[in-house]
Amino acid sequence: MEERGMEIEAVKKLLQDKKRKDMAYEKILTSMCTYPHEIAAYAHEMFLEANLGDSGLFLGAKEMEEEAVRMIGELLGNENAFGYISTGGTESNIQAIHAIRNRKRRDGLKAMNVIVPETAHFSFDKIGDLLSIEVRKAALDDELRVDVKSVEELIDDKTICMVGIAGTTEFGQIDPIEELAGIAKDRDIFLHVDAAFGGFVIPFLQEQKYAFDFSVEDVSSISIDPHKMGMSTIPAGCILFRDESYLSELAVLTPYLTTGEQCSLLGTRSGASVAATYAVLKYFGREGMKKIVSECMELTRTLVQGAKAIGVSPVIEPVMNVVTLSLPAAEVDRVANALEAKGWRVSVTRVPKALRLVIMPHVKEETVKAFLDDLEAVR
Ligand code: 0PR
């Protein structure tokens, strides 16, 4: 830091220079984030200073958090679910496993394990590390859903939790949550559903309905991210528990604050993105959210049809707005690099190796057409 500060206009100029180096979302086909809706940006700015770590000082922000949690719970089949607005899927996943870990640790269990699908997001590797829990990875079926038999084989008397994913990061696939719930019930195991991406997509799909949320009796907790398909500002996730006692497992006493205890992983936390989440949910309603998802799915179909027309097939028929395209293994990186050279941002999946595209609300019809032209040219 310099001894003397700069003029405000000079700082603004610095910021503009930096902003020019950031990519605009238009040609980004790798991201699960997008432009926040304008009402989200408005709400965010209005509540910039609100700290929900000391929520007795910011009663309006606190009310919005409670209302957002209620609205999201209702969307996921239980308006009486318990939870809070987190910083995203990673924090929500951590807190779900943290809660059941604490419960089992009090019961005297040691050397615990959790079972996640091979497709699980890397946040579960962080969880294994942070909570000193073994993370066992279950195999997939042909459609890249978790193989329930493989999950069953991995269960032992130290298994405290199974995870199902509703909208896998790489393939946008939905695990068989009802079947996992059947095992959870029989074996009395906590079942966490990672719907960080799919939570704001699956309830609005027209073609097919999937049971993945609290409407499935033995689902214990769910992660869902407003900062992905929820059109909110970053950082906004949400962790919900069916049973309040699990949220209580996370409580830490905060005697000198306006609140007696905290269940969040963070201390100081943003009221701004909570306000943004609340504002978006109020503004769109179910109808508005359905329209966004329908548009993304329509473009997803256009992309898949166009790809097939030039001889490129999807790895699985897209279930949601994530498309993975099969190319000969030796060609995937070359094609991805050639597309990047044309200004696109695409990613490559691990197993099977394929080109991955996420069709977020910033992707428009002309973008898909231009992308297909470039794909045809470089393949
Ligand atoms: N669970 C699932 C199913 C996810 O897809 C993700 C993130 C998480 C949990 C973790 O969420 P947070 O990143 O909010 O903690 N999925 C994307 C990914 O890692 C996130 C992302 C978004 C990556 C934008 C890149 C990007 O540009 O691929």
Taking only the tens place, the pLDDT of each residue in 136-167 is 999 999 999 999 999 999 999 999 999 999 99
d(CA 345, CA 340): 6
d(CA 177, CA 367): 34
d(CA 6, CA 137): 53
Query: What does the pLDDT read at residue 360?
Result: 98
Q: Mutation test of ligand 1: which of 90, 121, 130, 144 has the most ligand atoms closer than 8 Å to its C-beta? A: 121
- CA 68 to ligand 1 center in whole angstroms: 21
Across the chain, the runs of DSSP E, i.e. the strands, are 82-86, 113-117, 134-138, 159-165, 190-195, 221-224, 237-241, 252-253, 261-262, 322-325, 347-348, 355-358
Counting atoms of ligand 1 from 1, which one is nearest the CA of 225? 14
- CA 78 to ligand 1 center in whole angstroms: 24
**With bands split at pLDDT 50, 70 and 90, how would you rate the model's confidence at 278?**
very high
Q: Mutation test of ligand 1: which of 29, 30, 32, 346 has the most ligand atoms closer than 8 Å to its C-beta? A: 32
β-pair type (221-224, 190-195): parallel
Q: Mutation test of ligand 1: which of 34, 94, 163, 169 has the most ligand atoms closer than 8 Å to its C-beta? A: 169
**With bands split at pLDDT 50, 70 and 90, how would you rate the model's confidence at 343?**
very high
β-pair type (347-348, 322-325): unpaired
Give the fold, CATH level 3, of 8-36+286-378. Aspartate Aminotransferase, domain 1 (3.90.1150)
**To the nearest whole number, what is the mean pLDDT of the chain?**
98
Instruction: Please tell me the residue having the least CA distance from ligand 1 atom 17.
Output: 32
Residues with CB under 6 A from ligand 1: 30-33, 88-90, 93, 121, 123, 165, 167, 169, 194, 196-197, 225, 237
Query: What does the pLDDT read at residue 270?
Result: 97
d(CA 113, CA 359): 35
Give the fold, CATH level 3, of 38-282. Aspartate Aminotransferase; domain 2 (3.40.640)
Counting atoms of ligand 1 from 1, which one is nearest the CA of 228? 22
Query: What does the pLDDT read at residue 250?
Result: 98
- CA 123 to ligand 1 center in whole angstroms: 9
d(CA 147, CA 245): 30
> CB 213: neighbour CB atoms within 10 A?
24
- CA 361 to ligand 1 center in whole angstroms: 16
* CA distance from start to end of the chain: 49
**With bands split at pLDDT 50, 70 and 90, how would you rate the model's confidence at 202?**
very high
pLDDT tens for 23-49 read 999 999 999 999 999 999 999 999 999
Query: What does the pLDDT read at residue 304?
Result: 98
Mean pLDDT of 51-64: 98
Query: What does the pLDDT read at residue 55?
Result: 97
Among positive and negative, which fits the CA dihedral 48, 52, 56, 62? positive
**With bands split at pLDDT 50, 70 and 90, how would you rate the model's confidence at 77?**
very high
- In this structure, which amino acid lies at residue 329? A
Across 120-211, the runs of DSSP E, i.e. the strands, are 134-138, 159-165, 190-195
**With bands split at pLDDT 50, 70 and 90, how would you rate the model's confidence at 189?**
very high
Q: Please check whether residue 133 is in contact with residue 223, taking contact to mean a CB–CB distance below 8 angstroms.
A: no
Name the residue ranges covered by the structural domains of the chain.
8-36+286-378, 38-282
Instruction: Please tell me the residue having the least CA distance from ligand 1 atom 20.
Output: 32
- In this structure, which amino acid lies at residue 71? M
**With bands split at pLDDT 50, 70 and 90, how would you rate the model's confidence at 198?**
very high
Query: What does the pLDDT read at residue 208?
Result: 94
Mean pLDDT of 363-377: 98
Query: What does the pLDDT read at residue 172?
Result: 98
Query: What does the pLDDT read at residue 29?
Result: 98
CA 61 vs. chain centroid, Å, equals 23
The per-residue b/e assignment along 112-144, b for 16 or more CB within 10 angstroms, e otherwise, is bbbbbbebbbebbeebbeebebebbbbebeeeb
Has this prediction a pTM greater than 0.95?
A: yes
Q: Please check whether residue 161 is in contact with residue 114, taking contact to mean a CB–CB distance below 8 angstroms.
A: yes
Burial class (CB in 10 A: 0-12, 13-18, 19+), 362: middle
